[in-house]
């Protein structure tokens, strides 16, 4: 399933790259393009799946510039996630503009190992270190406090953490199923 999704995304990108950025294309043009480029089987699968056809129509109606921006973002996110997967790491590093820090990976691994549901930021006075209160789990002290906000923003953007607030208005950062999947795909223990 992921291979077909990646194939459709890649072909949408190739289709969009051969046109003007502000051009709006319709799904029929894309399907014809697929046929012309010998992707007949995929074209037929798309035609048979109304949800897929409708999704592609919506994407193309937003204009090809928008399509390219979204596909670039997906590509970046996929590369960031793949950097820590053995066998894909070198390829991902050659494409990724960003990468997930060792500190971010360490936090996710710790949360997974302790079956942590969420963490809170400690508001301890008189310390320069950022401490996290894992629930359940041990407290965690950031090794690179000055980059923690950057790590946190990336983890949220990638959907590896979700942000909510407790009754006091303090942010709570929840571990996600996607984070557990990523940690499971990392072959080298930290």
Candidates 167, 178, 157; CA nearest to 111 is 178
More confident residue, 153 or 3: 153
- Domain contains 19: yes
Q: Are residues 91 and 11 in the same domain?
A: yes
User: How far is Cα 42 from Cα 14, in angstroms, rounded to an integer?
Assistant: 15
Note down the domain range covering 118.
102-185
If you search the block for the tokens 């994407």, which residue do you land on? Answer: 59
> Global pTM?
0.58
CA atoms of 95 and 114, how far apart (whole Å):
33
Q: Please give the Cα distance from 119 to 148 (Å, whole number).
A: 14
Domain boundary among 79, 95, 111: 95
- Residues 29-78: tens digit of each pLDDT: 889 999 999 999 989 999 999 998 888 888 887 776 776 677 777 766 67
For 16, 153, 190, the CA distances from 71, given in Å and listed in that order, are: 10, 20, 31
Q: Which of 103, 109, 141 is nearest to 122 (CA)?
A: 141
Say if 190 falls within a structural domain: no
- Quickly count: other Cβ atoms within 10 Å of residue 81's Cβ: 20
């Amino acid at each position: 399933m992921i291979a077909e999704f990646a194939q459709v995304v890649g072909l949408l990108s190739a289709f969009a790259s051969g046109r003007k950025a502000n051009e709006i294309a319709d799904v029929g043009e894309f399907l014809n393009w697929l046929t012309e480029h010998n992707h007949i089987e995929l074209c037929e699968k798309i035609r048979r799946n109304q949800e897929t056809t409708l999704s592609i129509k919506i994407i193309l109606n937003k204009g090809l510039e928008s399509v390219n921006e979204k596909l670039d973002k997906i590509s970046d996110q996929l590369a960031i996630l793949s950097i820590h997967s053995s066998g894909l790491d070198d390829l991902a590093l050659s494409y990724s503009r960003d990468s997930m820090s060792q500190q971010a990976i360490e936090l996710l691994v710790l949360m997974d190992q302790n079956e942590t549901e969420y963490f809170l930021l400690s508001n301890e006075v008189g310390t320069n270190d950022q401490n996290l209160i894992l629930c359940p789990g041990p407290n965690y002290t950031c090794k690179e406090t000055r980059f923690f906000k950057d790590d946190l923003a990336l983890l949220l953007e990638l959907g590896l953490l979700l942000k909510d607030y407790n009754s006091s208005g303090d942010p709570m950062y929840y571990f996600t199923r996607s984070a557990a999947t990523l940690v499971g795909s990392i072959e080298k223990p930290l």
